[in-house]
Amino acid sequence: MWARDKCSAPPLEMDSRYTSATGIGDLNQLSAAIPATRVEVSVSCRNLLDRDTFSKSDPICVLYTQAVGNKEWREFGRTEVIDNTLNPDFVRKFILDYFFEERENLRFDLYDVDSKSPNLSKHDFLGQVFCTLGEIVGSQGSRLEKPIVGIPGRKCGTIILTAEELNCCRDAVLMQFCANKLDKKDFFGKSDPFLVFYRSNEDGSFTICHKTEVVKNTLNPVWQAFKISVRALCNGDYDRTIKVEVYDWDRDGSHDFIGEFTTSYRELSRGQSQFNVYEVVNPKKKGKKKKYTNSGTVTLLSFLVETEVSFLDYIKGGTQINFTVAIDFTASNGNPAQPTSLHYMNPYQLNAYGMALKAVGEIVQDYDSDKMFPALGFGAKLPPDGRISHEFALNGNPQNPYCDGIEGVMEAYYRSLKSVQLYGPTNFAPVINHVARYASSVKDGSQYFVLLIVTDGVISDMAQTKESIVNASKLPMSIIIVGVGPAEFDAMVELDGDDVRVSSRGKYAERDIVQFVPFRDYIDRSGNHILSMARLAKDVLAEIPEQFLSYMRARGIKPSPAPPPYTPPTHVLQTQI
Which helix (H) or strand (E) covers residue 106, if one does?
Answer: strand 105-112
pLDDT at 1: 43
The bridge status of strand 171-180 relative to strand 226-229 is antiparallel
- Tell which wins on pLDDT, 145 or 313: 145
What strands, in cross-sheet order, belong to the sheet with 37-46? 13-14, 93-98, 37-46, 158-165, 143-147
Q: pLDDT by residue (tens digit) across 518-546? A: 888 877 666 677 777 777 877 778 788 88
Nearest residue to 380 via CA among 340, 339, 430: 430
Split at pLDDT 50, 70, 90, the class of 2 is low
CA dihedral over 118, 121, 126, 127, signed as positive or negative? positive
- Mean pLDDT score of the chain: 85
How far, in Å, CA of 345 to CA of 322, rounded?
Answer: 28
pLDDT at 147: 97
Q: Is the pLDDT of residue 123 over 70?
A: yes
Split at pLDDT 50, 70, 90, the class of 567 is low
Q: Is the pLDDT of residue 489 over 90?
A: no
pLDDT at 137: 85
Which is the CATH superfamily of the domain at 312-554? Answer: von Willebrand factor, type A domain (3.40.50.410)
Q: Prior bond to 425 cis, omega within 30?
A: yes
How far, in Å, CA of 85 to CA of 46, rounded?
Answer: 9
Let me know if the fold of 4-165 is the same as that of 312-554: no
CA dihedral over 10, 13, 14, 18, signed as positive or negative? negative
How far, in Å, CA of 4 to CA of 58, rounded?
Answer: 9
* CB 258, CB 185: distance < 8 Å: yes
pLDDT at 36: 54
Annotate 311-321 with b (16+ C-beta within 10 A) or e (fewer): bebbbebebbb
Amino acid at 530: I
Q: pLDDT by residue (tens digit) across 247-265? A: 999 988 889 999 999 999 9
Nearest residue to 551 via CA among 319, 360, 373, 303: 319
Question: Residue 143 half-sphere exposure, CB side, CA atoms within 13 Å?
Answer: 13
Torsion-angle region of 312 (φ positive above 0: left; ψ -120 to 50: alpha; else: beta) = alpha
- 3-state SS assignment for residue 490: helix
- 3-state SS assignment for residue 346: coil
Split at pLDDT 50, 70, 90, the class of 26 is very low
CATH number of 4-165: 2.60.40.150
pLDDT at 308: 78
CA 546-552-556 angle, 5° bins: 140
Q: Is the pLDDT of residue 227 over 90?
A: yes
CATH number of 171-307: 2.60.40.150
What's the gap between Cα 325 and its chain centre?
23
How far, in Å, CA of 31 to CA of 33, rounded?
Answer: 6
pTM passes above 0.75:
no
pLDDT at 453: 95
Q: How many CB atoms lie within 10 A of CB 427?
A: 22
Residue length of the chain: 577
pLDDT at 202: 77
How far, in Å, CA of 325 to CA of 492, rounded?
Answer: 17
Mean pLDDT calculated for residue range 495-499: 74
Q: How many CB atoms lie within 10 A of CB 444?
A: 9
- Tell which wins on pLDDT, 33 or 500: 500
What strands, in cross-sheet order, belong to the sheet with 193-200? 206-211, 193-200, 241-248, 256-264
Domains of the chain, by residue range, sit at: 4-165, 171-307, 312-554
- Tell which wins on pLDDT, 282 or 169: 282
Mean pLDDT calculated for residue range 161-181: 89
State the alpha helices, DSSP H only, in 338-443.
352-364, 405-419, 429-439
Q: Is the pLDDT of residue 206 over 80?
A: yes
As to burial, measured by CB atoms within 10 angstroms (0-12 exposed, 13-18 middle, 19+ buried), residue 572 is: exposed
Q: Is the pLDDT of residue 196 over 70?
A: yes
CA dihedral over 545, 549, 551, 552, signed as positive or negative? positive
Mean pLDDT calculated for residue range 307-316: 81
